[in-house]
Copies of this chain bind each other. A is one copy, B any other.
Amino acid sequence: MSAHLEFADKNAVYAKTFDKGELPVPPSKKLLIVTCMDARIEDSCYKSLGLELGEAHIVRNAGGSARDAFRSILISQRLLGTREIAVFHHTNCGMQSFTAPQLRNLVKSDAQSKPSNEKEEIEKTVDDMEFYEFSDLEGSVREDVKFLKGNLLVLNQTKITGWVYDTTTGKVRQVV
């Protein structure tokens, strides 16, 4: 069964007791969090960090990549006033399980039965893509923080920290 078929019923229950009303658009803690799309990170930015609704922008992508999050960070800083960035990567991340050449080969091999014009387009797209995979967890956090600190488009006064979230214990640890 498709998961989306349950959204309406489940949401009706949720909306019945929804009492947040209209909060301001800019995050009240001027905070932006970058973390992974991983299914085991539950409201990591709310319950696990003690944040409340309306306090922080939450950007999530494969790996919690700050490079991939750059468009969102720019919009968040320039238009919605955030001045602090916390990057979270996590233990046992899918991004540590492959290399870009392996993934490119996998996609190309899946496309073998396609018409040749489609195959060419798929190959070109995947060859041009960055995947931001990593092998060293703490190193990847440090590198993302370094990327943000050295980026001319990230505002000078931004506080930038880097963290690891442990998916088996729920604990966070500051790396940088």
Contact = CB atoms under 8 A, between A and B. Distances in A.
Q: How many copies does the complex hold?
A: 2
Q: Classify chain A: how many residues form its interface, as a range.
A: 35 or more
B50 A129 contact: no
Interface of A: 2-4, 6-15, 18, 20-23, 25-32, 37-43, 46-51, 53-62, 68-69, 71-72, 74-76, 78-80, 84, 86, 92, 94-95, 97-98, 103, 106-107, 110-111, 114, 118, 121-122, 125-126, 129-132, 152-153, 159, 161, 163, 167-172, 174
The 10 closest A-B pairs by CB, nearest first: A10-B50, A18-B170, A27-B39, A62-B72, A43-B43, A60-B60, A3-B31, A37-B57, A15-B170, A42-B53
5 contacts: A3-B51, A7-B86, A8-B172, A61-B71, A78-B107
